[in-house]
Amino acid sequence: MDVDVAVLRSFVVLADELHFARAAARLHIEQPALSQRIKRLEQRMGVQLFVRDSRNVRLTPAGQEFAVEVGDVLRRLDAAVGRAVRTAAGTRGTVRLSYTLSVGYETLPVLLGDLERALPDVTVEAVELWESDVLSGVLRRDWDAGLVRYDPDHPDVTALLLRHESLVVAMPETHPLAGRSEVKLAELRGERFVTTPVSLAPGYQALLDDVFDAAGFVPHTVRNTVPGNRIMALQRQKNAVALLPASAALTHPSGIAFVPVVDDFAHLPVRLVHRQDADPSVVLFAETLQRAAREQGWLAPPVRPC
C-alpha cells in the first residue's frame, strides 16, 4: 500500500494532540485538509483509526497500535535521511587514510584527536605504509587520502600543507654531542648518517638531501638494511647518527639521545594528498585536518629563539 509520508506525519501529530485544530496548527495546514488526509488514510487502509464526536477525538485500538508502529518508522526514516545527508556532506562515514612512519609519531594522533571533536561521526581507517606505496594507493583509490612529507606534484593529486616540523639529530648517548641542548647541522659534517632506503621513501630522502645541501655538505651514509624505527638500533651498533623529525623523540628509545637542530632550514613538511576528483566527504576531511593544523600553529615554519 502506497501512503504518503506527509499523511503518516499528519496521523502521528493528530494521535498525539487528539484535537484537529491543534494538530492542524502544528502541521501548518488548514483543519479541513487534515480531516481529508485522515479520512483518505482510513479509507485506503480499510481501518478506522479515530473515533470522532462533537467533543472528543480518540484513537481506536487499531489506531493506538498503528500510532506506535508509525511513530517508530518515521523516527527511523528521519534518522536514515539524516545519516545519508551527513554522509554526502562528509560529516559522517569512513575515510581510508594511509600514512608514512614519521607522520605517525605525533602529527597523525594529534590531528585525529582534533578531527574526532570536529567530525565525531567520521571514522578513519588508518594504515601505515612506505612513502612509495602511499601515492600509488591514493591514485588507485585504495586509499581516500594519504599523509606524506613531500609534494608529489602530480596532475591528478591535490596536496595540502599540514605542518612544518623541526628536525633533531638522533645519536647514541655516548656520542660527544649527546649532552648538547642544540646543534647546527654543519657541526655533524663527517659523521655517518643512517638513512631510509631511497626506493622506499624517495620524496622524503630528497627533502633531507635539500637540508644537507643547505648545511653545505653531502653526508656519508650508512646502508640501512632494517628500515623503520629499527634505524635507531642500527645507530647504536654502528655508532652513527640520523636526521629525523623532532617527533621521533617521542618514541623514547633506550640508549639514544635527540639533539634539536637549530638551523632555519632544518624542518620538513607534512602534506595530505588526495585525488583531484575525490568525493566531497574526502575534501571536507582534508580541509578539516588543515584547519586543525592551523589551530595547532603548524603551518608556519618553526621560529628559532634569538
pLDDT (tens digit, 0 to 9) for every residue of the chain, 306 residues total? 678 899 999 999 999 999 999 999 999 999 999 999 999 999 999 999 999 887 789 999 999 999 999 998 988 888 888 777 777 766 678 899 999 999 999 999 999 999 999 988 889 999 999 998 999 999 999 999 999 999 998 999 999 999 999 999 999 888 999 999 999 999 999 999 988 888 888 999 999 999 999 999 999 988 766 666 555 555 555 678 999 999 999 987 888 899 999 999 999 999 999 999 998 889 999 999 999 999 999 999 887 665
Q: Say how far apart CA 186 and CA 194 lie, in whole Å.
A: 16
Q: What pTM value is reported for the model? A: 0.72
State residue 56's pLDDT score.
87
Count Cα atoms within 13 angstroms, Cβ side, for 250: 13
pLDDT of 59:
94
Question: In the chain, which segments carry CATH 3.40.190.10?
Answer: 92-162+269-295, 165-267
User: Cβ distance 141 to 156 under 8 Å?
Assistant: no
Predicted confidence at residue 198, as pLDDT, reads 85
Just give the CATH number of 5-89.
1.10.10.10
Which cell numbers in the block locate residue 14?
493528530
Give the residue ranges of DSSP H helices in 96-230.
107-118, 131-139, 202-215
Residue 251 phi, psi (nearest 5):
-80, -15
What is the rounded distance in angstroms from the CA atom of residue 271 to the CA atom of residue 160?
5
Fold adopted by 165-267: D-Maltodextrin-Binding Protein; domain 2 (3.40.190)
**What would be the CATH architecture of the domain defined by 92-162+269-295?**
3-Layer(aba) Sandwich (3.40)
Q: Which of 220, 164, 211 is nearest to 192 (CA)?
A: 220
Here the contacts of 141-144 (C-beta below 8 Å, separation 24 or greater) are 141/275, 142/96, 142/98, 143/96, 143/97, 143/98, 144/95, 144/96, 144/97, 144/274, 144/278, 144/279, 144/282, 144/285
* Nearest to 89, CA basis, from 122, 114, 113: 122
